[in-house]
Structure 1
Amino acid sequence: MMKQSIYLTLSLALSLTLASCSGDKLSKESVLPPVSEQRSELDRWCQEHITRPFQAEVIYRWDRNHAERSTHTYPPRLEQVRPVLEALEATVLSLYRDKQFFTSSDFIPAHPLLRIYLYGGANRDGQGVDLLFNRKAPSIELYIYNVDSFSPTSQVEVYRLIRSAQHQIGRHLMTIHPYDHDRFLSLGPDRYSSTTEPFADAYRSYEKSGRLREGLGLNRYAYSRGFYSILGMLGAREDLAEMYSVTLTETPAAITQAEQDAAVPDDANGDEDAKRRYAEEAKVAHETFVQKRAFLSKYIEEAWRIPLQRLQLQSLQLMNQYLDKHHATQP
């Protein structure tokens, strides 16, 4: 009898509830504000210019879970977000929508980046080295640092933005089209380091002396060791992506000059033992540089079916058009 009483009570309550609901009229107006009102003007611009054409969600609001613990990153100033994205769209993203190069279904936006994260400050590691990329992030995510210091009138800042983006997009495309990692690794495995400690002083010296652009790209410290950039010394994956990024932001003449300079030994100051050692080091550096350059060109042409030099010239044209438009100057 007790169970029957409980069932009757529940049935009565349910009937009354349904009867009450059937008599109510649902409001035609949502209690939530329209989507357009939830978004800011900046959000709508990001949606129109980045998310829709490139399928990448833009995330500029602070999320500590997506900042490495060892970095000194912080949220970007809102007024800086759009100028950075405009530069990214004009100099980098538009390159990968150019049908004269990327006609295959294997390229962006067929295999788009998933998210683009923006941070106000630098991505400095424990050695104080300003890394251009997040080494732990998946290749489908693009991380843009130094947003607050960006200026469209600064050649150095524009160069740093493009170098960072091209490195990360290059790594993304190299994941889609794998390269012979073991073969590339064999060109210089004993020179890689898992941390920036061995070259931190050299990197910071360029930054402190006002030669940041040189420090980020081709410089004697790097190419005298067979690298296109100092950051390429972090590992084979970083090295090849750095080579790709540097190639797309430096002229063919500049890369050829670096290759030739790599063969020039350091001054031994009359020390015959040092002279022989420096000559051997220069020989190895030059051979490594030449072999890596040939590897990258062959890989891009065979796997991507694009001549690397054509891609390089188009990238340089986009960068120079942007710099000319904004009358960018050296610091």
Structure 2
Amino acid sequence: MKTIIKKAKFRSFILKNLCIFAASLLLAGCEKEAPLSDQSIVDLGAVKREQTELDKWILETFTLPYGIEVEYRWDRNVAQNGSWIYPPKIANVKSVLKTIKTLWIALYTSPEIGGEKFLLGKNPIKIYMYGGKNLDGSGMELLDNPEATTNEIFLYNVNEFDPRNEDKVFVLMRSVHHQFAKHLMVLFPYNRNKFLSISRNKYLESTKPIAGAVGAMQGRQAFGLASYANRRGFFTFHSLLSAEKDFAEIISAKLTHTPKEILTALIEAKTPYNAGPDSDLQLVYNENARQAYKELVEKQAFVEEYFSKEIKLSLNYLQLISIKQMKAFIKQE
């Protein structure tokens, strides 16, 4: 019995000393290690970019006066999934930015509209620029990034932009006005349920049903007022995608089309398809046209009233100034 106790004590003694020895080795190793650096690992990996003349111009033209950052360098992390977009040509960046400065910022801040301080606190925080088209999975070119917040504006087709080309300017401004309209809709909420109830059952879940109708259309054909949409109670193809896009499209379409063109779209809406000798089908077409016209007129009036009450501007007057500025811009370029 005594022998067993002695053996147990001996094992305990050995184990205790081994633990002390291991601990001393660990402490010795720690003393030899270099002290921790105060510099962040993130900072060590960062590459400082020198400010270019373009960066300075952006700072003075957009960031300092309006609080808008512009990111024209490639950042795949903020591109929507499945898009074909790629970096923009640096040579075209300033041309695109000068265009939106003239036809968007100068529009809202003109003395006869909102004044120089109108956009303060209302602007998106950042603008992202890309070289190519913004195509979705159905092959339809979109006006915006559906994954973005309304504090961001995404500019596409930078590489093909030409300020002397009316079609290119038109598409750019359709996109900018659409995205800024969505931003205003968040800053100054509208009665979504009331607006949604006007064309409730007509909105599509995806672009698939209309991608074929748009087909190989380019520029103004793809983004302008469309007979296909008019006859269903909408101004454009993109209006069909959701109530939010429909609302924003009414603003964007009016700011890039003349009053005469808008009137033509309304006439198109109330013009029924011709059913030929089928009188029963003709009655259906007549009712569809009546309903399409009613919805389009009602939605346009809704948005105009919203703009007047919430934004404190006349959308119709803004339209006249916008069209005038676009024509003058194209002419001088």
* TM-score normalised by structure 2 residue count: 0.83
Give 1:226's match in structure 2, choosing from 206, 212, 233.
Answer: 233
Shift of 1:205: 4.2
Give 1:172's match in structure 2, choosing from 149, 161, 183.
Answer: 183
Give 1:258's match in structure 2, choosing from 251, 256, 265.
Answer: 265
Answer yes or no: is 1:69 the counterpart of 2:60. Answer: no
Structure number with larger C-alpha Rg: 2
Equivalents in 2 of 1:257, 1:51: separation in Å?
A: 40
Structure 2, gaps ≥5 residues long: 1-26, 36-47
Give 1:48's match in structure 2, choosing from 60, 75, 78.
Answer: 60
Equivalents in 2 of 1:85, 1:62: separation in Å?
A: 17
CA contact (8 A) 2:109 2:116 kept: no
Structure 1, gaps ≥5 residues long: 1-5, 15-34, 327-331
RMSD between superposed Cα atoms in Å? 2.0
Secondary structure at 1:287's aligned position in 2?
helix
Shift of 1:76: 0.3
* AA partner of residue 197 (structure 1): K
* 1:143-178 superposed Cα distances (whole Å, 9 cap, x missing partner): 001111111111110000000000111111111111
Q: In the comparison of the two structures, how many residue pairs are matched?
A: 290
Answer yes or no: is 1:85 the counterpart of 2:92. Answer: no
Tell me the equivalent position of 2:156: 145
CA contact (8 A) 1:97 1:109 kept: no
Give 1:186's match in structure 2, choosing from 185, 189, 197.
Answer: 197
Secondary structure at 2:153's aligned position in 1?
strand
* 1:216-270 superposed Cα distances (whole Å, 9 cap, x missing partner): 1211011111111100111000110011000111111111121122111112122
Equivalents in 2 of 1:47, 1:182: separation in Å?
A: 40
* TM-score normalised by structure 1 residue count: 0.83
Shift of 1:102: 2.2
Tell me the equivalent position of 1:158: 169
Percent identity, please: 36
Equivalents in 1 of 2:183, 2:114: separation in Å?
A: 14
Secondary structure at 2:154's aligned position in 1?
strand
Shift of 1:104: 10
Tell me the equivalent position of 1:122: 133
Shift of 1:286: 0.6
* 1:31-61 superposed Cα distances (whole Å, 9 cap, x missing partner): xxxx9x8111111111111212221100011
* 1:161-204 superposed Cα distances (whole Å, 9 cap, x missing partner): 00000011111111111110000000001110121011111112
* AA partner of residue 46 (structure 1): I
Answer yes or no: is 1:323 the counterpart of 2:327. Answer: no
* AA partner of residue 68 (structure 1): Q
Cα gap change, 1:292 to 1:315, in 2 (>3 Å)? same
Shift of 1:103: 5.2
Answer yes or no: is 1:308 the counterpart of 2:315. Answer: yes
Equivalents in 1 of 2:253, 2:102: separation in Å?
A: 18
Shift of 1:99: 4.1
CA contact (8 A) 1:177 1:303 kept: yes
Answer yes or no: is 1:135 the counterpart of 2:142. Answer: no
Equivalents in 1 of 2:83, 2:222: separation in Å?
A: 20
Secondary structure at 1:143's aligned position in 2?
strand
Answer yes or no: is 1:235 the counterpart of 2:242. Answer: yes
Give 2:287's match in structure 1, choosing from 273, 280, 286.
Answer: 280
CA contact (8 A) 1:167 1:244 kept: yes
* AA partner of residue 102 (structure 2): A
Secondary structure at 1:131's aligned position in 2?
coil
Tell me the equivalent position of 1:24: none
Shift of 1:110: 2.3
User: What stretches of structure 1 move > 6 A for 4+ residues in a row?
Assistant: none
